[in-house]
Amino acid sequence: MKFPGKRKSKHYFPVSARDPLLRDSMLQEMQPESEGGASYIVGIDQTMVDIEARVDEHFVARYGLTPGESNILDDEMSEALYQELMLNALITHQFAGGTVGNTLHNYSVLADDRSVLLGVMCNNVKIGDYAYRYLCNTSSRVDLNFLQGVDGAIGRCFTLISETGERTFAISPGKMNGLKAESVPEDVIAGASALLLTSYLLRSKPGEPIPQATMQAIEYAKKYHVPVVLTLGTQYVIADDPQAWRDFLRDHVSILAMNEDEGFALTGLKDPLMAADKALEWVDLVLCTAGPNGLFMASYTEEEFKRTTQHPLLPGAIAEFNQYEFSRAMRRECCEQPLKIFSHIAPYMGGPEKIMNTNGAGDGALSALLHDIAANGFHRTSVPNSSKHSREYLTYSSLAQVCKYANRVSYQVLNQHSPRLTRGLPEREDSLEESYWER
């Protein structure tokens, strides 16, 4: 496990506040005793490849697709759409996709550590086909040993970019919803630092088993007190029935990731800070990305152990909302006196000079948050008597620090074409204070 943000160990084990039981040498050697004790993230996805194409303004309408939405196609439409893209040579890129697959891949690249992907894979993979491409474009640190075999194709996600830059997904599902509840391994969920899900998993045709597999995974996560993380798909998936999603969050989820449009669909509140605040009624920790306005985080901490920020206090619908952003996030139920904490950060360096592709920038931010959560699990197993674990925290770092890291990872994704990171963050930032953070 590399520590999040590639900060030097002193950032993670501050010299002045170091636990007296620890010595430098112990920190250097700190490794989990076995793979079984190691910290990892598990997630479920609809296995799919992204097929990206540039299309004219009428294309999306001609196929009856909702712009900006992730639309589901039937077989006939998929074939027609694919043929048109091929005939006119409109396809620009093809890479492994899926919102959870992307996030786990990015987590594994950042942490240089294991994650476990649950989903389907073709029993019969041929060199060059989509399944093969998916496997080739996934980090070797993502454990694919628990995938369930299916006879048929994985999903295809036509990512249609219009002349105005708007992105519309058109999904050809194949057998991507074929994951069965019995293919969800209880012990893998039990040992995880978090279970990652997406709202897309709950939309499928009647009779397809993936929603039951998802509910089975949630049941195991609850049994072993593993935090359930939900990333909202698109605003349209939520807008179909916002109340059902609020109930779902309240009953099953502790960490919510969304962008401001999804936040609006969920809460009816346009301001991402207010949407995040509202969502704390149902969950313990919220990550809300807001495109060029950066990102917000919201959570709870123990009133007695709140830490005051050293950053300027920020104005907003909640005055000076970032006052306690130097506190670490906790589940509300673990606090004797829960205090809400909020943080915000503007895009790293104001955003890249040229954005290659915004696809997956939010997933990138979430992978950074997951890295911080897994680092907490790693540290807890390695140094259980550290004062850092005298209370049950969700994150290793303060909310403000997680914001910085998440934001930095989003920037990296915006700077490249694929939503999947090709490498970790640059080594030069080993001490992040030297570059951006102190400015």
Ligand X SMILES: O=c1[nH]cnc2c1ncn2[C@@H]1O[C@H](CO)[C@@H](O)[C@H]1O
Is residue 158 a contact residue for ligand X (CB under 6 A)?
A: no
Distance CA 217, CA 117 (A): 12
Helix (H, G, I), strand (E, B) or coil at 358: coil
- Which of 358/386 has CB closer to ligand ATP? 358
Nearer to ligand X, 171 or 421 (CB): 171
What's the one-letter identity of residue 316?
A: G
The gap from C-alpha 257 to its chain's centroid, in whole angstroms, comes to: 7
Exactly one of 358, 381, 386, 435 binds ligand ATP (CB under 6 A); that residue is: 358
Listed in sequence order, the residues at least 6 apart from 282 whose beta carbon sits closer than 8 Å to its beta carbon are 246, 249, 250, 253, 256
Token readout for 131 is: 């399944």
CB of 346 to ligand ATP, least distance (A): 8
Site string for ligand ATP, 284-303 (x = CB under 6 A): -----xxxx-xx--------
Nearest residue (CB) to ligand ATP, 55 versus 295: 295
Any residues with CB less than 8 A from the CB of 398 and at least 6 apart, and which? Answer: 307, 325, 326, 327, 328
How many alpha carbons fall within 13 Å on the CB side of residue 229?
Answer: 31
* DSSP states of 365-411: HHHHHHHHHHHHHHHHHHSTTSGGGSS-EEEEEEHHHHHHHHHHHHH
Q: Known binding site for GMP: residues? A: 98-102, 203
| The pair of three-digit structure tokens given for residue 81, joined into one six-digit string | 């759409």
Minimum gap (Å) between residue 410 Cβ and ligand ATP: 3
Binding mask 194-223 for ligand X (x = CB under 6 A): ----x-x-----------------------
Q: Interface with ligand ATP includes 363 (CB under 6 A)?
A: yes
Query: How many chain residues touch ligand ATP (CB under 6 A)?
Result: 20
Q: Helix crossing, 361-382 with 399-414: angle to 10°?
A: 140
Q: Which residues are annotated as a binding site?
A: 98-102, 203, 289-294, 362, 407
Tell the residue number behind the tokens 């994951």, with chain if given: 179
- Looking at the Cβ atoms of 30 and 215, the one nearer to ligand X is 215
Per rule CB under 6 A, is residue 315 in the interface with ligand ATP?
no
Structure tokens at 263: 């936040």
Return the range that interacts with ligand X (CB under 6 A); candidates 76-84, 181-189, 244-252, 359-367. 359-367
178 binds, among ligand X, ligand ATP, none (CB under 5 to 8 A by kind): none
Alpha helices in 242-384 (DSSP H): 242-252, 260-267, 272-279, 361-382
Smallest separation, CB 433 to ligand ATP (Å): 20
The window from 25-33, 78-86, 191-199, 353-361 that contacts ligand ATP (CB under 6 A) reads 353-361
Q: Which residues are annotated as a binding site for ATP?
A: 289-294, 362, 407
Distances (CA, A) of 110 to 99, 258, 389: 17, 21, 23
Give the interface segment with ligand X, choosing from 34-42, 281-289, 308-316, 355-363 (CB under 6 A): 355-363
Q: Is 359 in the site for ligand X (CB under 6 A)?
A: yes
Q: Would you tell me which residues interact with ligand X (CB under 6 A)?
A: 46, 48, 50, 70, 97-99, 102, 157, 169, 171, 198, 200, 359-360, 363, 419
Binding site for ligand ATP (CB under 6 A): 259, 289-292, 294-295, 347, 351, 355, 358-363, 365, 407, 410, 414
